[in-house]
């Protein structure tokens, strides 16, 4: 039977003994009525051509959609082993008929959800938003860098790392851009250069000042913007140790400066996460409001909640059957 998707529905127990589920809200996507702005677990479809099993699929989706705030990078391998060894609270296997474009017919498909307890963390919602905000900023920086590079002028005085520059009859390679500014109609750029002679590995600092022509002003402005954007992105990336593995693909020059950064869109699928009490979940289901949860998750949630029972008739605390 074909695996269609998998995921993790995490819950925790507070120091007071209250059970809380952690759900994630989908981002707003136009014309996606069944998913946009709705809540669900951390789950999704298998990756094409990767032959994932249910555990691999579930852990990857959980890591991406939670941005690593529930299970850190260091915890992932351990989590994978736990799921393989049935160290979870519940495992839901849902079967459905899915249309296959390859066979042009309906095939039986399996979706697996692992319900598992994780340690309670009071700051998890804020930490998710902080990391997501950082990734959004890096995404914008990366897109800006890419646009500027595509339109980059290949001529004097615009040099970037790796390009050759001649001074006093000696050829140098640009190793690093140390500064760039444009003020009082003068373009200033500071380079670190390395001589190309094998016997001479001299490094020199070279400050170029240039009064641009009117037609060069846009290129000068873009050059400075490129330098500043790269510098800011480098600082943001290096100072945020909480950015999860796989969220960013970063390229550096030989001198160690950031050249470009691409954020994996899979880590930005969820807009936010929050804790839900058992009573809140029961109330939402009882209200028959179909705009709160994704349709598929409704089935997962109802089945999961049926496995918990109140501690007493007057208590808001629950325990598993």
**CATH code where residue 18 lies:** 3.90.79
Give pTM, 2 decimals.
0.87
Non-local CB neighbours of 257 within 8 Å, separated by 6+ positions = 161, 176, 177, 230, 234
- Predicted confidence at residue 200, as pLDDT, reads 67
- The domain total for the chain is 2
Residue 271 placed within a domain: no
pLDDT tens figures, 37-91: 999 999 999 987 778 999 999 999 999 999 999 998 889 999 999 999 999 999 9
- Predicted confidence at residue 318, as pLDDT, reads 66
- Shared domain check, 256 and 147: yes
Residue 97 placed within a domain: yes
- Shared domain check, 204 and 116: no
pLDDT tens figures, 141-163: 999 999 998 888 878 888 888 88
Residue 43 placed within a domain: yes
pLDDT tens figures, 180-189: 999 999 999 9
Give the mean pLDDT of 264-288.
95
- Predicted confidence at residue 311, as pLDDT, reads 63
Segments forming the whole domain that contains residue 311? 2-122+288-320
Residue 274 placed within a domain: no
- Shared domain check, 300 and 180: no
Residue 282 placed within a domain: no
Residue 15 placed within a domain: yes
**DSSP secondary structure, 126-175, as one string:** HHHHHHHHHHHHHHHHHHHHHHHHHT---STT---TT-EEEETTEEEEEE
pLDDT tens figures, 3-23: 989 999 999 999 999 999 999
| Coil vs helix vs strand at 122 | coil
Residue 256 placed within a domain: yes
Residue 180 placed within a domain: yes
């Amino acid at each position: 039977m074909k695996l269609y998707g998998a995921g993790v529905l995490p819950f925790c127990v507070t120091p007071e003994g209250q059970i809380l589920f952690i759900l994630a809200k989908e981002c707003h996507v136009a014309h996606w009525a069944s998913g946009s702005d709705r809540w669900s677990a951390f789950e999704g479809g298998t990756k094409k051509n990767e032959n994932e099993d249910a555990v691999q699929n579930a852990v990857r989706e959980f890591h991406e959609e939670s941005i690593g705030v529930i299970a850190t990078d260091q915890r992932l391998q351990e989590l994978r082993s736990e799921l393989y060894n049935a160290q979870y609270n519940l495992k839901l296997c849902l079967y459905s008929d899915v249309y296959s474009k390859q066979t042009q017919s309906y095939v039986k498909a399996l979706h697996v959800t692992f319900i598992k307890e994780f340690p309670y963390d009071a700051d998890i919602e804020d930490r998710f938003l902080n990391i997501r905000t950082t990734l959004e900023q890096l995404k914008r920086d990366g897109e800006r860098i890419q646009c500027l590079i595509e339109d980059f002028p290949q001529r004097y005085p615009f040099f970037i790392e790796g390009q050759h520059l001649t001074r006093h009859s000696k050829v140098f390679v640009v190793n690093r851009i140390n500064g760039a500014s444009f003020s009082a109609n003068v373009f200033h750029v500071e380079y670190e250069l390395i001589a190309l002679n094998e016997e001479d590995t001299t490094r020199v600092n070279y400050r170029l000042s240039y009064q641009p022509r009117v037609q060069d002003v846009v290129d000068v402005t873009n050059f400075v913007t490129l330098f500043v954007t790269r510098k800011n992105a480098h600082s943001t990336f290096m100072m945020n140790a909480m950015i999860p593995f796989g969220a960013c693909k970063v390229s550096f020059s030989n001198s160690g400066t950031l050249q470009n950064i691409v954020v994996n869109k899979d880590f930005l699928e969820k807009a936010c996460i929050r804790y839900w009490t058992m009573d809140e979940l029961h109330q939402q289901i009882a209200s028959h409001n179909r705009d709160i949860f994704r349709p598929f998750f409704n089935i997962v949630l109802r089945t999961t909640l049926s496995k918990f029972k109140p501690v007493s008739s007057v208590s808001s605390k629950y325990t598993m059957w």
